[in-house]
Amino acid sequence: MDNRRDGERVKTALPCNWGLSEDSPRNGNITSLSRNGCFVQTTARATEEQIVYVRCWLPSERWFTLRGRVTYYLSKIGFGLNFTDLNVEQQEMLALLIEYHREEKG
């Protein structure tokens, strides 16, 4: 499997919930984000190849849920996630979120 990062990646500080279902019972922070994936900082354990849901609260004050495959896990640090099965609305929201964080840092 190719774990190369494709596309622009921006630094973020997005609190999130994540888990094996959309209920997403575990807590974390999305610390970097691209159109293809993100890094979730968390002390909870994730397993490589596992499919998880990540839910974050957007600056527009609504929940945004994504689904992805764990590409790697760093013990007590977090995991990398490649998004899967994104619909058009999710792709557009990701683009807006990346732009928002690019402008916020710039």
**Domain boundary assignment for the chain:** 10-105
Whether 98 has a pLDDT exceeding 60, the answer reads yes
Model pLDDT, residue 3: 44
Structure tokens belonging to residue 4 = 């190369």
Whether 4 has a pLDDT exceeding 50, the answer reads no
Neighbours of 7 (CB within 10 A): 11
Assigned fold of 10-105: Thrombin, subunit H (2.40.10)
Model pLDDT, residue 106: 61
Q: What is the largest CA-CA distance in the chain?
A: 36
From CA 56, how far away is CA 48, in angstroms rounded? 21
From CA 36, how far away is CA 48, in angstroms rounded? 17
pLDDT for 29-88, tens place per residue? Answer: 999 999 999 999 999 999 999 999 999 988 889 999 999 999 999 999 999 999 999 999
Is the distance from CB of 39 to CB of 32 less than 8 angstroms? Answer: yes
Model pLDDT, residue 6: 57
